[in-house]
A = this chain, B = another copy of it.
Amino acid sequence: MSPRGVPIPDVRQQLFNAAERVLLRDGPAGLTGRAITKEAKCATGLLYNHFADLDDFLAALLLDRAARTGTAMAGLPARAGTGRVVGNLVDAVEALFAGNLLALAGLVMTRPSLIPRMGEALAGGTLHVDAGERAFAAYLRAEQEHGRIRAEADADSLALALVGAAHQLVLTHAPDPRERMHKVITALIWGVERRHDPPR
Q: C-beta contact mask, A124-161 vs B, less than 8 Å → 1, else 0?
A: 00000110000000000000000000101110111011
Bound Cα distance A166, B157 (Å): 11
Query: Which residues of B are found within 8 Å of A27, using beta-carbon distances?
Result: 109-110, 112
Q: C-beta contact mask, A67-108 vs B, less than 8 Å → 1, else 0?
A: 000000000000000000000000000000000000000100
Bound Cα distance A188, B166 (Å): 16
A41 CB → nearest B CB, Å: 25
Query: Which residues of B are found within 8 Å of A160, using beta-carbon distances?
Result: 165, 168-169, 180, 184
In this complex, what residue of B is CB-closest to A160?
B165
Pairwise interchain contact B187-A158, C-beta atoms closer than 8 A: yes
- A186 beta carbon closer than 8 Å to chain B: yes
Bound Cα distance A27, B29 (Å): 12
A125 CB → nearest B CB, Å: 17
Pairwise interchain contact B110-A172, C-beta atoms closer than 8 A: no
- A183 beta carbon closer than 8 Å to chain B: yes
- A171 beta carbon closer than 8 Å to chain B: yes
- A164 beta carbon closer than 8 Å to chain B: yes
Query: Which residues of B are found within 8 Å of A187, using beta-carbon distances?
Result: 153-154, 157-158, 161
Query: Which residues of B are found within 8 Å of A188, using beta-carbon distances?
Result: 157-158, 161, 188
Bound Cα distance A147, B142 (Å): 33
- A28 beta carbon closer than 8 Å to chain B: yes
- A119 beta carbon closer than 8 Å to chain B: no
The chain A residues found within 8 Å of chain B, CB to CB, are 27-29, 106, 109-112, 129-130, 150, 152-154, 156-158, 160-169, 171-172, 180, 183-184, 186-188, 190-192
Instruction: Name 14 interchain pairs, CB-CB below 8 A, sorted by A.
Output: A27-B109, A29-B29, A106-B109, A110-B110, A129-B172, A130-B168, A152-B190, A154-B186, A157-B183, A157-B187, A157-B188, A161-B161, A161-B164, A164-B168
